[in-house]
Structure 1
Amino acid sequence: MTDPTRSSRYDFEYPDEAGYPDGKGTLSQDQVVLIDEVIDDPRAPAFDFAVVNDEKAGIYEAIVGDREIAGMPYSVAGDGRLVLLATSVFPEFRKQGIATELIRRVLDDVRAHGKTVTIRCPIVRTFIEHHPEYADLIDPEHPGVTR
């Protein structure tokens, strides 16, 4: 039996500005699948894909050929910080390491540009918890989602 007082991989707290009155949100089944991928399946993706930063639209896109297979929308805060909003992978490409590699490449790009991030996406939060070498990218004044 699960102890309800213990936290799980699916427990997150959101800052007040996220709009949840109790400071907690409910994860969708899609988010749960991607969190499981990030935690349980750290392998390299099953195939190569390009990551394109569409700055005008505010989204990093994972592209194979001419097809978008995953994305991570973001907004830019006034101080140049990126607010990472969500991670999504089309269902037929899930459980293949795409989410994990997309997050890694986005965070590498953030680092290369000398920026920090505020995390609104629990999948990105989970990735960073399991890859602490990216923790320095989290803006200390505006960290976003927490456990």
Structure 2
Amino acid sequence: MKKPDCDAKLKQLNTRPLGSWKEASPVSDITIRNQTELKHYEAVLNGEVVAFAEYRPLEGAVMFAHTEVNESIEGKGIGSALIRQALDETRAAGKWVIPMCPFVVGFIQRHPEYVEAVNPQHRRIFGI
């Protein structure tokens, strides 16, 4: 069951009009930022949040709990760009990644260069 704030974010994300998103080259035109007060990374395209990845900071690790991408632009690489930056920043901070979100698990499975970001004792749990 999703948390109420996540449901509200998802509803807002998926009901926004496309506007110029169709004309934009999403991956090259996005800005990804870590909203630490909201505990999520977000991808912004043309001034609108089009994707987010929620996380929970822990001692020595960051748990990635949930990722959403506006359904009208799924498959454009925005979710992957979002997770790539989040994982890169987590590794740069010297913290382990705990990929509770299936999208993050799938990303790591498709990009073996990120496997070492997951604690070796936890990799089997996530099928990594």
Q: Structure 2 length normalisation: TM-score?
A: 0.71
Aligned-pair CA distance for 1:140 = 3.3
- Structure 1's consecutive aligned runs of 4 or more residues displaced over 4 angstroms after TM superposition are 141-145
**Structure 2 residue corresponding to 1:84, chosen from 53, 64, 83:** 64
Aligned-pair CA distance for 1:114 = 1.5
CA offsets, 1:28-62, max 9 Å, x none?
xxxxxxxxxxxxxxxx9554211110111100000
1:57 aligns with 2:38: yes
Q: Give structure 1 stretches of 5+ with no counterpart.
A: 1-43
1:138 aligns with 2:118: yes
Partner of 2:104: 124
Q: Give structure 2 stretches of 5+ with no counterpart.
A: 1-24
Secondary structure of residue in 2 paired with 1:87: strand
Task: Point out the structure with the larger strand share.
Answer: 2
For residues 121 and 145 of structure 1, the distance between their equivalents in structure 2, rounded to whole angstroms, comes to 13
1:114 aligns with 2:97: no
Aligned-pair CA distance for 1:94 = 0.7
For residues 91 and 60 of structure 1, the distance between their equivalents in structure 2, rounded to whole angstroms, comes to 17
For residues 103 and 109 of structure 1, the distance between their equivalents in structure 2, rounded to whole angstroms, comes to 10
Task: Point out the structure with the larger helix share.
Answer: 2
Partner of 1:68: 49
- Contact map agreement 1:121 1:145 (CA 8 A) in 2: no
Specify whether residues 105 and 144 from structure 1 end up closer, same or farther in structure 2 by C-alpha distance, changes over 3 A only. Answer: farther
Q: Structure 1 length normalisation: TM-score?
A: 0.63
CA root-mean-square deviation? 2.0
Percent of residue pairs bearing the same amino acid type: 33
CA offsets, 1:82-127, max 9 Å, x none?
0000111011121111111111111111122111111111111111
CA offsets, 1:7-34, max 9 Å, x none?
xxxxxxxxxxxxxxxxxxxxxxxxxxxx
- Greater relative contact order: 1 or 2 (C-alpha under 8 angstroms, separation 6 or more)? 1
